[in-house]
Amino acid sequence: MPTQVTAFPWVPPFAQGFVRDLRVRWALEEAGLPYEVILVDPATKSSADYRRWQPFAQVPAYRDDEVELFESGAIVLHIAAKSEALAPKEPAGRERAMMWVIAALNSVEPQVQNFVTLDAFYGGEAWVEGFRPKAWAMTRERLAALEDWLQAKEWLEDRFTVGDLVMTCVLRELIESGSLKTFPVVEAYVERCLARPAFGRALEAQLETFRRHAPAA
Amino acid sequence: MPTQVTAFPWVPPFAQGFVRDLRVRWALEEAGLPYEVILVDPATKSSADYRRWQPFAQVPAYRDDEVELFESGAIVLHIAAKSEALAPKEPAGRERAMMWVIAALNSVEPQVQNFVTLDAFYGGEAWVEGFRPKAWAMTRERLAALEDWLQAKEWLEDRFTVGDLVMTCVLRELIESGSLKTFPVVEAYVERCLARPAFGRALEAQLETFRRHAPAA
């Protein structure tokens, strides 16, 4: 059976390049593993059938010969377990890579998402200006910790791993607002990760699907 | 070397029983593994030394003969890899358990935390009443998905795993506000997990430390 990953045929421009199948595509590109995309339209994603695969009605869901999974963080860890391109072979190094995936998902992404979604989801609502400084303060605290951690480091650990892949996907959402400017070490780190050819291929693959399915103007 | 876990000597009452070393203590209790607690006071947690172990200046951090880790989600996955009490032996089952840990941490906890911390962190601020209905709507959507998933199931998969452990720690934060009442299947599931003797031992161990270090009235 070919490896299958679900994705949306089209999303509004602000979300293009950020839908989470990108994380899985990037991991598969780093690992050099081929995959097949299953497009899931809005009606299908809420169906009982799809929810048995992805209970939260989101993308990506994933299956291969070994396992059926949802949750992009879990899928990239599964791919990392198959490929030394994403994690070292020795057990402690693998666990450190897994640790950074979890840190990105649970100690950085919630803060970043609260900050970056304020305008996209709630733009113009009065309460937003009360929350914005709190959301930024929590994000800034995590960026400051990463700025310290990454001093004189090329990657989060001593080589590129799936932890860098997920951390970069979390942090790149801050680029457009200019929020990384005051954290030059983090900014250079994110740019270094995004310059990897595998990221470029993954991004282009997601965007190409959206171009093909763009609604008529 | 004994297994070491960091914890705070004392926290304000609203946080007692919810500091994240609880998740690690619970996993170690399920696995039947002894551990030693290293108390980290506010000055120590921000020190450069501690930040080399826990970059975000939080608890828990962890070390054993195999690896040094931070991030409670990563630590419980490491413990689960050593113990069949927390995940089945066969690879696909282990990956499904890992998947539910990630789902709890990245698709449920951010929503729950936004909702439950509004009053604890920002009580009385005017903007809070604007955000509250949005935070609840996002939490409710995830609870509804779990209510569907858990129909006729005792656990998230076909046995108790580390995924149930982390999901329960995330969801129990909603108990006090009564927010689980409209999701009776989820509520019964959380109660079933919390009734496990290992959870009781872990909770008591955290609370006992706080009692010993309570500031003089």
Q: What is the pLDDT of residues A134-162, one digit of tens each?
A: 999 999 999 999 999 999 999 999 999 99
Torsion sign across C-alpha atoms B94, B100, B102, B105:
negative
CB count within 10 Å of CB A7 equals 22
pLDDT score of B217 more than 90 = no
What amino acid is encoded at B155 in this protein? W
Q: Look up residue A194 and give its amino acid.
A: L
Q: Is the peptide bond before A2 cis (omega within 30 degrees of 0)?
A: no
The percentage of residues in chain A with a pLDDT greater than 90, rounded to a whole number, is 95
Contacts of B98 in chain A (CB under 8 A): 74, 77
Hey, which bits of chain B come out as E strands?
4-7, 36-39, 61-63, 68-70
- For residue A46, list chain B residues with Cβ-Cβ distance below 8 A: none
Q: What is the DSSP letter of A105?
A: I
Contact residues on chain B for A107, CB-CB shorter than 8 A? 56, 58, 71
> By the 8 A CB rule, do A69 and B97 touch?
no
Evaluate if residue B145 carries a pLDDT over 80. yes
CA gap B121, B137 in Å, rounded = 19
Q: Is the preceding omega at residue A42 within 30 degrees of 0, hence cis? A: no
- For residue A188, give how far its alpha carbon lies from the nearest alpha carbon of chain B (Å): 19
- For an interface test with A, the pick among B106, B148, B162, B183 (most A C-beta atoms closer than 10 Å) comes out as B106
The answer to whether the beta carbons of residues B102 and A58 sit under 8 Å apart is no
A77 vs B102: CB contact, 8 Å cut-off? yes
Do B86 and B27 form a contact (C-beta atoms < 8 A)? Answer: yes
Token digits of residue B166: 């982390």
- pLDDT tier, A82 (very low <50, low <70, confident <90, very high otherwise): very high
Q: Do A73 and B113 touch (CB under 8 A)?
A: no
Nearest by CB to A70, from B73, B99, B130: name it. Answer: B99
CA–CA distance, A1 with B192 (Å, rounded to integer): 38
Using the beta-carbon criterion (under 8 Å), do A67 and B91 form an inter-chain contact?
Answer: yes
pLDDT band at A172 (very low <50, low <70, confident <90, very high): very high
What is the DSSP secondary structure assignment for residue B184, as one 8-state letter?
H
User: Is a pLDDT exceeding 80 seen at residue A217?
Assistant: no
Whether B137 and B162 have beta carbons less than 8 Å apart is answered as no
pLDDT value at residue B22: 98
**CA A139 remoteness from chain centre:** 17
**Residue A1 clears pLDDT 90, i.e. is over it:** no
Is the four-CA dihedral A156, A151, A145, A112 of positive or negative sign?
negative
Q: What SS3 state is found at B5? A: strand
Give the SS3 label for residue A99: helix
Residues 6 or more apart whose CB falls under 8 angstroms from that of B100 comprise B156, B157, B161, B162, B163, B164, B166, B167
Nearest CA in chain B to A104: B106
pLDDT confidence tier of residue A17, bands split at 50, 70 and 90: very high
Predicted complex ipTM exceeds 0.90: yes
Q: Which of B49, B65, B102 is the best substitution to test chain A (most A C-beta atoms within 10 A)?
A: B102
Contact check, Cβ <8 Å, A109/B114? no
User: What integer best gives the mean pLDDT of chain A?
Assistant: 97
Considering only the beta carbons, identify the residue of B67, B107, B109 that sits closest to A95: B67
Average pLDDT on B169-182 reads: 97
List, in order, residues 6 or more apart from A22 with CB less than 8 Å away.
A169, A202, A203, A206
Q: Which of B55, B57, B102 lies nearest to residue A74, judging by beta carbons? A: B102
Q: CB-based contacts of B56: which residues, under 8 Å, 6+ apart?
A: A103, A107, A142, A145, B70
